[in-house]
Amino acid sequence: MGREMRRSQERAERRQKQREAQQSRRAPAMSVTAPAVAGAETGFSPRRWFGDIVAELKKVTWPSRREVVNLTTVVVVISLLLGMVMGGADLLFGWVVEQTLLR
């Protein structure tokens, strides 16, 4: 097993342990039909909203630099190929129109 694979596996194990710790600290989720708790926040709160955003971003598994480079390369190559195919089709259809309809 290579060094990068070992580090990746260790990071995944650490994330799993963090998730388990967070889940054990959280209160059980309320059902939709449960009555509101007295004093519970019911309106929009910017502080809570930003806190929820930060919590969700902590759950995201971000791609590595190598994955980003590889996927970006794939997108650029496919975009260039499709651009060439569409440009070729445009030239072909333009030539056909000139030869048939405009004469």
Residue 19 pLDDT = 85
Per-block average pLDDT, block size 10, for the chain (103 residues)? 82 87 70 53 84 92 94 98 98 94 80
Amino acid 29: pLDDT: 57
Domain boundaries, the chain: 63-103
Cα separation values, 66 from 3, 63, 73, 76, 79, Å: 15, 8, 11, 15, 20
Separation of alpha carbons 67 and 3, rounded Å: 16
User: Residue 28's pLDDT is what?
Assistant: 59
Distance (Å, whole) CA 82 – CA 89: 10
The pLDDT score that the predictor gives to residue 64 is: 95
pLDDT value at residue 41: 58
Phi, psi of 52 (to 5 degrees): -65, -40
- Specify the pTM: 0.46
